[in-house]
Amino acid sequence: MIGALGQLVNGALGALQAMGYPGIAMIVGLESAGLPLPGETTLITASYLAATGHLSLPLVIGSATFGAVVGDSLGYGVDRRGGRRFLKRYRRYEGITAEKLIRADDYFARHGAKTVFFGRFVALLRILTGPLAGASRMPYRRFLAANVAGAVTWVTTMGTLAFFFGKPVAAVLSRLGVWALVALAAFLIARFALKCLRSRRARRRPSHPCQENANGV
């Protein structure tokens, strides 16, 4: 069992190294477009590989930033065109009322830029911000400015922290061997599972009728 987990971690690190910078951009980009993929985990792992000399940190940051900006813009564009029609057609099945759509539009008109920027640092918001901004018809220029600023800040911060902390972590891993790999595997698996669980709960959470009535008063 322990050996299998060690092989799993080594395989994951080797696969990310083999995919290289295009793979980093693709995973981060697809997460930003709205798919529940481990974009932040990929960024942290790639930065760790840079700390151990297998990748270049500037290229890791550049490819992740590119993927984040393009992916968020893709999610924005798709939902700006088709998301609104989808929400209006199926809103009665999802508990989405016309009042909620109006409140969402008003929220993004007042706080859209801040939400897009700071949403980069929250797992669920990182997946949903682009599509929600598009469905709410947030002006693209404002969205793009906040998107680029948020992506650069998030990627640079997380990548740099993982790089500098990755060096002592690499030394610890080399000393502890397979047990450290087991701990790292458990952490990555738990992080990904928790992220998927939160995303699933957020999508299935029903609206509370009493709360709607209270808001409407």
In whole angstroms, give the CA distance from residue 196 to residue 217: 35
pTM: 0.68
120 DSSP 8-state letter = G
Query: What's the pLDDT score for residue 148?
Result: 96
pLDDT tens across 47-103, in order?
888 888 889 999 999 999 999 999 999 989 888 877 666 555 544 544 556 676 677
pLDDT tens across 179-193, in order?
555 666 667 677 777
pLDDT tens across 10-51, in order?
556 667 777 889 999 999 999 898 888 888 888 988 888 888
* Of 60, 72, 66, the residue nearest 161 (C-alpha): 60
pLDDT tens across 145-158, in order?
999 999 999 999 98
Buried b (16+ CB within 10 A) or exposed e, 192-213: eeebeeebeeeeeeeeeeeeee
